[in-house]
Amino acid sequence: MKISLSTHLTFLLHRHGWPAAIGLLLMAAVWPLAHFGADSARIETVALHQAQAAERERKTRQPDPKADQLTRLAEFEAGLPLAEGALQAVRHIHRSAAEHEVELSTGEYRLVSEPGGRLQRYQITLPAGGTYPNLRAWMADVLNELPTMALDELSLKRNEVGESQVQARVRWSFYLKAP
């Protein structure tokens, strides 16, 4: 005995009721949205994976072994800022500290000539205060924006164990071309 599709659907509707029918209709309506949304997300994921692979490849690429050390050193020195760049670096440090709610006290600024006479190092020592996440964000911002800046020393201190404010002493070195 063969049962027609309409008879079978009528039986299922009476057996499970109208909530099941509404649920099936909603599932049928949502399926195309989910399917096409997943396709665009899949395409975006593949593009992101390709971009990550390219970035990883670029970072792990070794310098050309044929290029001698003098050529690489000359390229490095060509990228160093002139002495006027020190003032811009100090301004960026203070601007970034204000943006990240880090309080800076009066610091010590010294210009040190490196042996060999081709480089100068502007040494900046700053007492700073703020929360630990704010201090980290400030230092990361400075290091990301100023590629010739180096963080030489960092010391942290809290007055009490539960206190959120941290007192820090930060020593930076900003490398410049010698005049």
* Whole-number pLDDT of residue 26: 85
Domain identity same for 124 and 165: yes
Domain identity same for 98 and 143: yes
Structure confidence by residue, pLDDT tens digits, 5-41: 788 778 877 788 778 778 878 888 887 777 776 777 7
The structure tokens listed for 145 are: 């924006």
How many domains are contained in the chain? 2
* Whole-number pLDDT of residue 65: 64
Domain identity same for 51 and 98: no
CB 145 within 8 A of CB 96: yes
Domain identity same for 40 and 128: no
Domain identity same for 40 and 88: no
Residue 51 has pLDDT above 80, yes or no: yes
Domain membership flag for residue 61? no
Domain identity same for 117 and 35: no
Domain membership flag for residue 68? no
* Whole-number pLDDT of residue 161: 82
Structural domain of residue 52, as residue ranges? 5-56
* Whole-number pLDDT of residue 129: 93
Domain identity same for 52 and 89: no
* Whole-number pLDDT of residue 9: 74
Q: Which of 23, 39, 56 is the last residue of a domain?
A: 56
Domain membership flag for residue 64? no
Domain identity same for 111 and 151: yes
Structure confidence by residue, pLDDT tens digits, 113-147: 777 777 888 899 999 999 999 999 999 999 998 88
Domain membership flag for residue 159? yes
Domain membership flag for residue 35? yes
* Whole-number pLDDT of residue 37: 67
Domain identity same for 46 and 93: no
Give DSSP secondary structure letters for the chain.
----HHHHHHHHHHHH-HHHHHHHHHHHHHHHHHHHHHHHHHHHHHHHHHHHHHHHHHHHPPPPTTS-HHHHHHHHHHTS--TTHHHHHHHHHHHHHHHTT-EE---EEEEEEPTTSSEEEEEEEEEEEEEHHHHHHHHHHHHHH-TTEEEEEEEEE-SSTT--EEEEEEEEEEEEE--
Domain identity same for 88 and 169: yes
Domain membership flag for residue 76? no
Residue 162 belongs to a domain with what CATH number?
3.30.70.60
Structure confidence by residue, pLDDT tens digits, 63-112: 666 667 777 777 777 778 887 788 888 899 999 999 999 999 888 989 88
